[in-house]
Amino acid sequence: MFFLFVKKMKKLGGYCSLVHWIINFKSYEFLGYLCAGGTAATASPCRFGISVPLYYFLGSREEIFTGSSPVPRLVKMVYIAKQPVNGKDYYYLRKSVREGDKVISKSVAYLGKTKEEAEKKFKEMEKNKQPEKNIVASKSVKNYCPTKISIEDLATFCKQKGFVFRSSDIYGGFSGFWDFGPLGVELFKNIKENWWNQFVYQKTNMVGMEASIISHPRTWKASGHIANFNDLAVICKKCKKATKIDVSEEGKVKCDCGGEYEVKGKFNLMFKTKVGSIDSEDAYLRGETAQGMFMDFKLIQQSSRMQLPFGVAQIGRCFRNEIAPRDFLFRCREFHIGEFEFFIHPEEFKCELLDEKHLNVSFRFLDEETQKAGSEVLKEVTIRNLLEKKKLDEWHAYWLAEQVIWFNGLGLNEIKIREHTKDELSHYSSATFDIDYEYPFGSKEVAGNANRGQYDLIQHQKESKQSMEIFDDKTKTKIIPRVIEPTFGIERVFLAILTKAYCDDKERGNIVLRIPAKIAPIKVAVFPLIKGEDFEKISTKIASDIGKEFNVTYDKSGSIGRRYARQDEIGTPYCVTVDGESIKDNSVTIRDRDTTKQVRLKISELKNFIKMLINEEISFENVGKIIN
């Protein structure tokens, strides 16, 4: 019977001198591992180093030994192989592939340290194997469903993983203040850099600045913050919860419990401080970054030789003395605002930059009329629709579209835009739009866009007695520009990204943080498959090389599965593994976080492909042949 089987294999171009068996638990059939060139002395699955491939033959024991198993039941040329490293045995799933006129053997997956573990893992791989037609090519950040999580649980997760801690945690924390941990500071920095790249580096009409946190006290008198930057302190008559509401909301809103609010008084949000040790004077920590850009407007225009229209951008810390900080990072007393003031000739309403791409930007919209009718029904609209209804002018429309485009680029497609009603407009604005995101605690503002007109420059001109006029080359006249102001709460963007990224993957058994690769805290993790000088030498060299451009982590502790899970939980998009094959042919596997798919690449090509993946210049499926 054995010779009948060997005879059948000769038809495939090989012969068998030894057969090893494992059970396919899915179909209760035997898998024959046929080792061409093997010897009778071999008493275990074939080892690395053989030059002729093993054949993976599927058939029952009776079929094989009677020669009745049909040749077409030969499937893939894959096998389990054992490799001794530093005196210990490690099992791999390998496959034979033809390259040119040669057949070579390549590692597909690591299966464990014992034969039993290898067989068990192989069984699971077979069990989970899906027909080709059912395989989903990719699960991008944009087309998966995040796991709903409470804001309290998200705060706990952020603390455990090193994203965000309570400030002064050893003293019980200090309400409204937070610290970014090792991963949080990286993600926060990447968000700010992405914002700066989008709105400053990619725009020829934009420059940046960084103003001081404390400015002359008259700044805030001129801007209206001392007189108008107020909220109402209220307590719910039913549940006794203390909070704040806008002045315009008095008598119009109720507590979440349904109770009515009792107004306890009006308070100013500005943080007051003292400047000077002896002859001290009152000053304020800035409540927004905008005023520094207004005060330095003429200096920037003259020193940078900017002509209208142009903008000045800034990301910086701001402070507001909130009566009831809440919802984790959403409402803090210290936070960062990213915003820019875009200066335009007061009589210029035509925007040459507004094109079809901007006009066709779509989003869900809550207009003023719907709100006044007591409804919150959203409409799907485009920027073109808002212009046709005269909700805003062209420059306002252009920058609102640019904001939506940026959010979409971060995978935050769920945003909606709400038009401010006339009675809730800020003292400086003639038209304002809130960009809201659906957080675990409700739909709340993550960014905004206001038409500030000439208000701020005129106010500073009055208070300082200094002219804020500039000479406009186009019209040959002196003018005070009008201003469009897009603004972003950076902590709120950070929170939205984590909310969208958080996914409790039941199949993997761990959290997967699907942060877009371009802003992920750590871009690449490098693993030696096993501890050993050769493996670690290659791994550390790869980590060092990639680390010259991207944030990279190196991890050699624990099983490869546990290491993958650790990186999934902190959002690392790509994991590079150095295995036995790497030592032979200088190739490695690279794993995609979102799909768990892997491709094999030459080490010399790795850095370039990682760069293209992070910059979204290539999809993972196009990097190379999927091997799992």
Cα–Cα distance between 22 and 404 in angstroms, integer?
A: 56
pLDDT class of 173 with cuts at 50, 70, 90: very high
- Stretch 442-462: mean pLDDT: 95
**Residue 301 half-sphere exposure, CB side, CA atoms within 13 Å?**
23
Provide, rounded to the nearest whole percent, the portion of the chain with pLDDT above 90: 65
Strand partners, 31: 22, 58
Handedness of CA 47, 48, 50, 54 (dihedral sign): positive
pLDDT in tens, 362-405: 999 999 999 999 999 999 999 999 999 999 999 999 999 999 99
Domain with CATH 3.30.930.10 in the chain: 151-226+276-498
Handedness of CA 19, 23, 27, 33 (dihedral sign): negative
Q: Which H or E element spans position 77?
A: none
At 513, phi and psi to the nearest 5?
-100, 100
- Average pLDDT of the chain? 83
Q: Which H or E element spans position 589?
A: strand 587-592
Number of Cβ atoms within 10 Å of the Cβ of 447:
27
* Contact status, residue 106 vs residue 100, Cβ threshold 8 Å: no
13 pLDDT higher than 50: no
3-class DSSP state of 127: helix
3-class DSSP state of 526: strand
pLDDT in tens, 218-267: 999 999 888 888 888 899 999 988 888 877 788 888 888 989 999 888 88
Fold category of 151-226+276-498 in CATH: BirA Bifunctional Protein; domain 2 (3.30.930)
3-class DSSP state of 623: coil
CATH code of domain 507-622: 3.40.50.800
* Contact status, residue 371 vs residue 523, Cβ threshold 8 Å: no
* Contact status, residue 213 vs residue 285, Cβ threshold 8 Å: yes
**Residue 235 half-sphere exposure, CB side, CA atoms within 13 Å?**
4
Domain with CATH 3.40.50.800 in the chain: 507-622
Q: Which two tokens stand for residue 498?
A: 């984590």
Does residue 440 have a cis peptide bond before it, meaning omega lies within 30 degrees of 0? no
348 pLDDT higher than 60: yes
3-class DSSP state of 221: helix
**Cβ within 8 Å of residue 508, ≥6 positions away:** 565, 568, 596
Among 557, 554, 561, 558, smallest CA distance to 576 is for: 554
Cα–Cα distance between 627 and 618 in angstroms, integer?
A: 18
423 pLDDT higher than 50: yes
Q: Which two tokens stand for residue 154?
A: 């998200």
Q: Which two tokens stand for residue 556?
A: 């050699």
* Contact status, residue 460 vs residue 453, Cβ threshold 8 Å: no
Rg (CA), the chain: 32
Q: How high is the pLDDT of residue 11?
A: 39
**Residue 472 half-sphere exposure, CB side, CA atoms within 13 Å?**
19
**Cβ within 8 Å of residue 3, ≥6 positions away:** none
Q: How high is the pLDDT of residue 195?
A: 98
**Cβ within 8 Å of residue 450, ≥6 positions away:** 426, 428, 429, 431, 432, 433, 484, 485, 487
Q: What is the largest CA-CA distance in the chain?
A: 106
pLDDT in tens, 589-619: 999 999 999 999 999 999 999 999 999 999 9
**Cβ within 8 Å of residue 525, ≥6 positions away:** 552, 553, 554, 555, 563, 567, 572, 574, 575, 576
Q: How high is the pLDDT of residue 124?
A: 66
Among 206, 435, 438, smallest CA distance to 301 is for: 206
Q: Which H or E element spans position 284?
A: strand 281-285
111 pLDDT higher than 60: yes
Amino acid at 346: P
**Cβ within 8 Å of residue 377, ≥6 positions away:** 366, 370
pLDDT in tens, 480-529: 999 999 999 999 999 999 999 999 999 999 999 999 999 999 999 999 99
User: Terminal CA-to-CA distance of the chain, rounded, Å?
Assistant: 35
Q: Which H or E element spans position 147?
A: none
Number of Cβ atoms within 10 Å of the Cβ of 147:
14
